[in-house]
């Protein structure tokens, strides 16, 4: 599908939508700087350290469930507005938390916002993007996630010496981008695919006309209608039909692997990892800044490659490369050898940022058929956040009883299994419209249509 596009509109819309990604990055990263202070403030042991960190993921699961229903019943835009409101309220609540239970509840609320944004931001960007640039535009969401991490780690570093309650300022800083996101959502368009699904063809055409020329509008309308069953509402039960299950398992497999590959242990427990080799508190937080900067640089590289090299080669390189790097990192941690540890960790971050980090979100947003996309993405992202909770909850316990080297060797084994899964199960989606991807699954014998309406 080709045509002339309004790049200014596409980029601005993608950037505003991806503010949800920025706040995802903030809530993801702020715990790294806040955890040493929370450990002292509330006397956290390994169990509560893991649960406090992972409580965000529990909220994300609820957020995905809410987002799927809102996305398919009311639209992508109302869902993003709800997420932005939750981001603002939870940031303020965490900063003012008088007790651990209050803080965990507030972080759970932030997780609901993250879960909604993690699903709806890439979904809306994918549904307004031309096929040939969809990978790069959806990757903007990953870029803003990384920017959120970089800026938050830098803020944490600057706030580290203001006193034992520095963590309140760290978490409270989230109110600023939350307010900006809340304001920006008012100016976003609704998804043209959602509008057409609801029978609002004239409104869908207006949005598409802001994106591209007349040829793009007509070809988009024709392609969407050719794969859309207007008589059937997307429902969670339709996602688990025998016909859809093969596609769903690919989405769930990618989502779970992105977390079980282990890299988020590095992001969330940077201070723990470098404390284990004798780094000072300042050095621990400085390493978090370096890690987030490496993540940013390689995410930018990924955005130039995703629509050139394709999804599949980059995913395979990420899985295989991480397996090798984790073996080396595990050895250095086991031998208490700090020489080169930072560089190997940065290499792992860079490889992840070029592959599994952005491409998992791209693939989840594009492999499911139009008529169940909201519900199917919801299921996949719920699986992702469940895996994230298991990962971050178990790491402090594994570290305590077996050592962090054993954890990284375990993640290496998972990366080998992930490589095999991608090699045998993942089709290439580069340069294809969402409707062409759906047709591709049909050609492979996977029926992506829904059963007749009851």
pLDDT in tens, 79-137: 999 999 999 999 999 999 999 999 999 999 999 999 898 889 988 988 888 877 777 78
Claim to verify: residue 148 and residue 276 sit in the same structural domain: yes
Residue 338 makes CB contacts below 8 A (sequence gap 6+) with: 277, 278, 279, 332
Does 117 fall in a domain?
A: yes
Contact 281, 136 (CB under 8 A): no
Q: Are residue 324 and residue 381 in the same domain, yes or no? A: yes
Q: Are residues 40 and 183 in the same domain?
A: yes
The domain total for the chain is: 2
State the Cα–Cα distance between residues 108 and 238, nearest whole angstrom: 29
Q: What is the pLDDT of residue 227?
A: 65
Q: Check residue 433 and give its pLDDT.
A: 66
Q: Do residues 363 and 431 share a domain? A: yes
Q: Which two tokens stand for residue 151?
A: 């800026």
pLDDT in the model for residue 443: 56
Which 8-state DSSP code applies to residue 369? -
CATH number, position 46:
1.20.1250.20
Residues 171 and 207 reside in one and the same domain: no
Question: Residue 415 class from Cβ within 10 Å (0-12 exposed, 13-18 middle, 19+ buried)?
Answer: buried
Whether 412 and 337 have beta carbons less than 8 Å apart is answered as no
Closest CA to 313 of 436, 139, 430: 430
Residue 450 lies in a domain: no
Given this model, what pLDDT does residue 447 score?
A: 46
For the chain, 454 residues long, the average pLDDT of each consecutive 10-residue run is 74 91 90 89 89 91 85 89 95 95 96 89 86 78 86 89 90 94 92 86 88 83 70 61 84 95 88 79 81 86 77 92 96 85 92 89 80 79 89 91 94 97 84 65 50 39
- Domain stop point among 228, 245, 279: 228
CB–CB of 319/415 below 8 Å? Answer: yes
pLDDT digits (tens, 9 = 90+) for 218-252: 888 887 777 665 444 556 677 777 777 888 899 99
Asked if residues 344 and 328 have their Cβ atoms less than 8 Å apart, the reply is: yes
Answer whether 76's CB lies under 8 Å from 120's CB.
yes
Q: Are 124 and 137 in contact (CB under 8 A)?
A: no
Domain that holds residue 213: 196-228
Let me know if residue 356 belongs to a domain.
Answer: yes
Examine the domain organization and report whether 203 and 285 are in the same domain.
no
| Distance in angstroms (rounded) separating the CA atoms of residues 36 and 29 | 13
CA 37 to each of CA 163, 267, 394: distance values in angstroms, whole numbers, following the listed order: 9, 17, 21
Report if residue 2 sits inside a domain.
Answer: no
Q: Does residue 281 share a domain with residue 205?
A: no
378 and 253 both lie in a single domain: yes
Same domain, 297 and 422: yes
In a domain, 385, yes or no: yes
The residues near 252 (Cβ < 8 Å, ≥ 6 apart) are 379, 380, 383
The packing angle between helices 356-366 and 341-354, to 10°, is: 20
Domain match, 130 and 246 both: yes
Q: Please, which residues have CB within 8 angstroms of residue 178's CB and are 6 or more apart in sequence?
A: 23, 84, 87, 88, 91
Residues near 280 by beta carbon (within 8 Å), at least 6 away in sequence: none
Q: Are 168 and 313 in a shared domain?
A: yes
- pTM, whole model, 2 decimals? 0.75
Residues 262 and 209 in one domain: no
């Amino acid at each position: 599908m080709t045509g002339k596009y309004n790049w200014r509109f596409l980029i601005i819309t993608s950037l505003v939508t991806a503010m949800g990604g920025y706040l995802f990055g903030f809530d993801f990263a702020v715990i790294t700087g806040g955890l040493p202070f929370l450990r002292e403030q509330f006397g956290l042991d390994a169990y509560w350290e893991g649960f406090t960190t992972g409580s965000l993921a529990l909220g994300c699961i609820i957020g995905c469930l809410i987002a799927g229903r809102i996305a398919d019943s009311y639209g992508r835009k109302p869902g993003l507005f709800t997420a932005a409101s939750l981001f603002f309220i939870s940031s303020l609540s965490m900063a003012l938390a008088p007790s651990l239970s209050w803080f965990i509840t507030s972080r759970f609320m932030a997780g609901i916002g993250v879960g909604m944004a993690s699903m709806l931001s890439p979904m809306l960007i994918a549904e307004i993007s031309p096929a040939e640039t969809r990978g790069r535009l959806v990757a903007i969401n990953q870029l803003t996630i990384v920017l959120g991490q970089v800026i938050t780690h830098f803020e944490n570093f600057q706030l580290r010496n203001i006193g034992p309650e520095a963590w309140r300022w760290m978490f409270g800083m989230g109110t600023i981008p939350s307010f900006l996101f809340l304001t920006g959502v008012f100016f976003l368009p609704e998804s043209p695919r959602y509008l057409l699904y609801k029978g609002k063809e004239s409104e869908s055409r207006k949005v598409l006309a802001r994106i591209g020329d007349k040829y793009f509008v007509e070809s988009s309308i024709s392609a969407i209608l050719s794969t859309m069953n207007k008589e059937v509402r997307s429902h969670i039960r339709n996602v688990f039909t025998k016909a859809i299950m093969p596609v769903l398992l690919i989405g769930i497999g990618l989502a779970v692997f992105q977390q079980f590959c282990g890299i988020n242990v590095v992001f969330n427990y940077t201070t723990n990892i470098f404390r284990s080799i004798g780094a000072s508190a300042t050095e621990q937080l400085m390493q978090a800044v370096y890690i987030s900067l490496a993540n940013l640089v390689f995410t930018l590289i990924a955005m130039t490659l995703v629509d050139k090299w394709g999804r599949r080669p980059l995913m395979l390189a990420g899985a295989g490369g991480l397996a090798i790097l984790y073996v080396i990192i595990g050895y250095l941690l086991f031998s208490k050898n700090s020489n080169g540890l930072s560089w190997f960790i940065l290499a792992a971050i860079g490889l992840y940022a070029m592959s599994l980090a952005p491409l998992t979100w791209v693939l989840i947003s594009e492999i499911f058929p139009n008529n169940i996309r909201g519900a199917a993405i919801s299921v996949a992202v719920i699986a992702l956040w469940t895996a994230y909770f298991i990962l971050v909850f178990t790491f402090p316990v594994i570290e305590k009883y077996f050592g962090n080297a054993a954890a990284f060797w375990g993640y290496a084994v998972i990366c080998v299994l992930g490589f095999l899964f991608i090699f045998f199960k993942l089709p290439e989606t580069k340069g294809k419209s969402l409707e062409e991807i759906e047709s591709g699954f049909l050609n492979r014998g996977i029926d992506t249509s829904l059963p007749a309406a009851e």
